[in-house]
Amino acid sequence: MFNSDGSRQGKEFQVNSNENMDQLAPRTCELSNGDFMICWDDLDNNDDKSYFKYFLSTPLLHSLYSFSLQFPLYDETLYSTTVDFEWKKASQVHLNFQWELEYTLYLDHSEEFNNPQKYSGICDTTYSLKNLTPGQSYFWKVLAKNIEGDSLWSSESFGFYVSPAANIKDDQILKPETYILYPNFPNPFNPTTMISYQLPIISDVELSIYDILGHHVTTLVNNRQNAGYYQVEWDASGFASGVYFLKLEAANFKATQKMLLTK
């Protein structure tokens, strides 16, 4: 919407979303200061009334306030490849126009955000992403920006893990095609981390942890397991910080992953 001199008043506006109401004769009225009103008649319940809504011509200046991430939380394991991200508002006042405050969602496999995907122009505090990769860790944060060009990062960045079994229904047979030992999540961790692996056939499984010198520390799994996806949590509360190695042996398959315990 634009005013008489061609200046933009806003990207969009909505008076009412109820399509069943008898709202007639919409009209606009521009005031001398550039503000404007939208007026309409309402015949709902055979009661003739007139309504109006007032719009400011100049966007309000919004100081940015510290805001937090809501979902997904840190260390959360998700069982869907569609994720609905949520965060708090970065403003404590009502917005006159949606575009007065926009957000950019940053998503990366690295906690350092070396090569993030950016989803910009978000005018809400929610954003949905589809087709995330099962068996992968993701880290996310949000940048808020107002019309003055001021920007502010979310008060934290969170990491989450998409389960290898994401989007597989309970009535489906969980039979992967190959053996895989996934990287633990989170990593680095303190004091717990989640370990995921998959088996294509019934196998004798040994899942063990070794320190940096190659000494055996503990065995998490040592039994026969059916084909499927598995998760094991390691609580390293009683162990010293440092580098550890996770080793999976199943049939003729062997794999290792490096882990870092920080305290």
Which tokens go with 160? 């989450």
CA gyration radius, the chain: 27
What strands lie across the sheet with 253-261, from one edge to the other?
216-225, 203-211, 242-250, 253-261
- Among candidate residues 188, 134, 167, 162, the one with its CA nearest the CA of residue 76: 162
Q: What is the spatial distance between Cα 144 and Cα 142, in angstroms, rounded to a whole number?
A: 7
Domains held by the chain: number: 3
Assess whether 78 and 20 both reside in one domain: no
Assess whether 128 and 148 both reside in one domain: yes
- Cis amide leading into 183 (omega within 30): no
Assess whether 32 and 106 both reside in one domain: no
At 150, which CATH number?
2.60.40.10
Give 161's contacts (C-beta < 8 A, 6+ positions apart). 75, 76, 77, 78, 136, 137, 138, 185, 186, 194, 196
- pLDDT of 173 reads 47
Cβ count within 10 A of residue 248: 23
Q: Is 87 exposed, middle or buried (0-12, 13-18, 19+ CB in 10 A)?
A: buried
At 254, which CATH number?
2.60.40.1930
Residue 63: inside a domain, yes or no? no
Structural domain boundaries enclosing 212: 180-261
- What letter would DSSP give residue 219? E
- pLDDT of 171 reads 45
Residue 169: inside a domain, yes or no? no
Assess whether 29 and 73 both reside in one domain: no
- pLDDT of 148 reads 75
pTM assigned to the model: 0.58
**What is the full per-residue pLDDT of the chain (263 aa) written as tens digits?**
445 455 555 544 455 555 555 666 677 766 666 666 777 776 666 666 666 666 666 655 567 889 999 999 888 888 889 999 999 999 876 665 666 789 999 999 988 999 999 999 998 999 999 999 988 899 999 999 987 778 899 999 999 999 887 766 544 445 788 999 999 988 999 999 999 999 999 899 999 999 999 999 999 999 999 888 888 999 999 999 999 999 999 999 999 999 999 98
Cα angle: 223, vertex 204, 251; to 5 degrees: 160
